């Protein structure tokens, strides 16, 4: 007998009337119309069942700290970094853990079951590193938390930057981070990329750098990252996050850069909510959008995903752990409004992100973990349009979260008993 049988599901690829059979936490079969005895049977009633959401870029050490010790008045990246510098001496491990656990609760409720979080390694106490390693252990039964050693103040620019980053990796942080555009010079930025990629290659780690988070079209560290990834055999293991300078680069240069990134196997993570908020702040009008060239990167064969980056922290006062909100903003900023474009934006917060994180057993196929979400939507586009309610969230076959369907009871003349579900045709 099966542990769980989901019937009459629509899958993100458009297949309808599908059954998903689950045994011992794994999907054993995905097939149309299967009926078999199961300890629990769930009728999806034609709604969308998708693999869980994945956030490939987040800062959990800063999350839910909005207003501590003050609010970012200018709204710029640089005031955010300065504000984070004011907050750091006030951080306690207990408060940090408490905020991170609260955020993970929000995430699970939204069907977000895997997060790659950067953790600042600049402070020699490594307080945030220890706290997030503790959080990683504590949430492991319900959420995959992957940590990136992130030298926020610049690995070369800050005293002891390299040693602190290496100590964080020794403690068990998973991925090597960086911030080349924040080093003192372009040359130092390039040197930091080379150094950090060499550390990753030596230790067998993945790389994910904040790369060119700037409106400066001459910030070209992504080029160095692509070169180093290829030189050191890190193809498929290195990621450039943000890459916002690509928005402002000369088109001729980008025509050379795109195939170079594709050839190197470097993936790119855009952070639509934050990029549209922080970039273009020095502009008058016209004001640049500042997000990297998502459709062009995808067309060149680069793996592109969307991250949340920030929720209620020194850089961004909004957010709720909802990756559909992230994708919704992404498709608007990138003008990816075609049917295919919108589906690609859904993939940017599910399958593409899972690939970049090297998540094992992810997806809706026999052998994958039974970690999926029943949404109050009939397809990925409707899910994006509605930022659809996550009716049920399963991880390895276990029900982790339920949310009541969003339904409005109406009191309209001549429409007695009417309700609105907002689903097309409902």
Contact residues: Fe ion, CB under 5 A: 309
Strands (DSSP E) contained in 376-425 are 390-395, 398-402, 408-409, 419-420
List the beta bridge partners of residue 226. Answer: none
User: In angstroms, rounded to a whole number, what is the distance separating the alpha carbons of residues 375 and 386?
Assistant: 10
Taking the least distance from each CB to Fe ion, the nearer of 228 and 309 is 309
Taking the least distance from each CB to Fe ion, the nearer of 63 and 224 is 63
Query: What does the block give as tokens for 38?
Result: 């199961």
Catalytic residue check, 213: yes
Instruction: Please report how close the Cβ of residue 424 comes to Fe ion at its closest, in angstroms.
Output: 35
User: In angstroms, rounded to a whole number, what is the distance separating the alpha carbons of residues 169 and 56?
Assistant: 19
User: In angstroms, rounded to a whole number, what is the distance separating the alpha carbons of residues 268 and 209?
Assistant: 10
Instruction: Please report how close the Cβ of residue 307 comes to Fe ion at its closest, in angstroms.
Output: 7
Instruction: Please report how close the Cβ of residue 349 comes to Fe ion at its closest, in angstroms.
Output: 16
Around Cβ 272, how many Cβ atoms within 10 Å?
28
Taking the least distance from each CB to Fe ion, the nearer of 18 and 327 is 327
Contact 266/229 with Cβ under 8 angstroms?
Answer: yes
* Backbone angles phi and psi of 248, in degrees to 5: -100, -5
DSSP labels, 147-194: EEEE-TT-TTTSTTHHHHHHHHHHHT--EE---GGGSSSHHHHHHHHH
User: In angstroms, rounded to a whole number, what is the distance separating the alpha carbons of residues 15 and 45?
Assistant: 14
Instruction: Please report how close the Cβ of residue 150 comes to Fe ion at its closest, in angstroms.
Output: 8
Taking the least distance from each CB to Fe ion, the nearer of 316 and 346 is 316
Give CA separation, 228 vs 182, 196, 199, 200, in Å: 19, 10, 12, 11
Residue with tokens 């009008």: 285
Residue 89, classified by CB atoms within 10 Å of its CB into exposed (0-12), middle (13-18) or buried (19+), is exposed
Taking the least distance from each CB to Fe ion, the nearer of 174 and 309 is 309
Instruction: Please report how close the Cβ of residue 179 comes to Fe ion at its closest, in angstroms.
Output: 9
| Residue 14, phi-psi category: left (phi > 0), alpha (psi -120 to 50), beta (remainder) | left
The active-site residue out of 79, 86, 183, 213 is: 213
CB-closest chain residue to Fe ion: 309
Instruction: Please report how close the Cβ of residue 366 comes to Fe ion at its closest, in angstroms.
Output: 36
Taking the least distance from each CB to Fe ion, the nearer of 120 and 309 is 309
* Backbone angles phi and psi of 113, in degrees to 5: -115, 5
Instruction: Please report how close the Cβ of residue 316 comes to Fe ion at its closest, in angstroms.
Output: 10
Taking the least distance from each CB to Fe ion, the nearer of 10 and 275 is 275
Residues taking part in catalysis? 213
């Amino acid at each position: 007998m099966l542990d769980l049988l989901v019937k009459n599901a629509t899958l993100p690829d458009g297949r309808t009337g599908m059954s998903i059979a689950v045994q011992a936490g794994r999907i054993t079969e995905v097939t149309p119309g299967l009926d078999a005895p199961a300890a629990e049977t769930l009728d999806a009633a034609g709604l969308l069942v998708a693999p869980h959401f994945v956030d490939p870029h987040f800062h959990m050490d800063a999350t839910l700290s909005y207003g501590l010790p003050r609010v970012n008045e200018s709204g710029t990246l640089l005031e955010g970094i300065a504000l984070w510098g004011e907050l750091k001496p006030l951080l306690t491990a207990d408060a940090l853990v408490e905020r991170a656990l609260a955020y993970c609760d929000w995430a699970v409720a939204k069907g977000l079951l895997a997060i790659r979080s950067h953790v600042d390694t600049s402070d020699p106490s490594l307080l945030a590193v220890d706290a997030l390693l503790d959080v990683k252990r504590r949430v492991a039964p319900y959420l995959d938390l992957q940590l990136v050693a992130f030298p926020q103040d610049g690995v070369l620019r800050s005293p002891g930057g390299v040693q602190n980053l290496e100590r964080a990796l020794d403690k068990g942080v998973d991925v090597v981070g960086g911030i080349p555009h924040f080093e003192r010079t372009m040359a130092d930025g390039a040197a930091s990329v080379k150094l950090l990629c060499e550390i990753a290659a030596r230790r067998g780690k993945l790389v994910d750098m904040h790369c060119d988070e700037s409106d400066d079209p001459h910030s070209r560290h992504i080029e160095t990252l692509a070169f180093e990834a290829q030189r050191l055999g890190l193809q498929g293991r290195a990621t450039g996050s943000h890459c916002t300078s690509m928005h402002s680069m000369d088109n001729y240069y980008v025509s050379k850069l795109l195939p170079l990134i594709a050839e190197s196997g470097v993936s790119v993570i855009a952070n639509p909510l934050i990029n549209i908020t922080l970039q273009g702040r020095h502009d008058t009008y016209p004001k640049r959008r500042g997000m990297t060239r998502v459709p062009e990167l995808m067309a060149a064969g680069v793996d592109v995903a969307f991250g949340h980056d920030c929720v209620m922290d020194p850089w961004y006062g909004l957010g709720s752990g909802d990756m559909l909100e992230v994708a919704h903003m992404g498709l608007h900023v990138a003008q990816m409004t075609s049917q295919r474009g919108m589906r690609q934006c859904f993939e940017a917060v599910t399958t593409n992100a899972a690939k970049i994180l090297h998540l094992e057993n992810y997806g809706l196929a026999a052998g994958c973990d039974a970690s999926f979400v029943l949404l109050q939507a009939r397809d990925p586009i409707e899910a994006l349009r509605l930022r659809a309610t996550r009716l049920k969230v399963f991880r390895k076959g276990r029900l982790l979260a339920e949310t009541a369907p969003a339904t409005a009871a109406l009191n309209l003349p001549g429409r007695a008993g009417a309700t609105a579900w907002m689903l097309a045709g409902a």
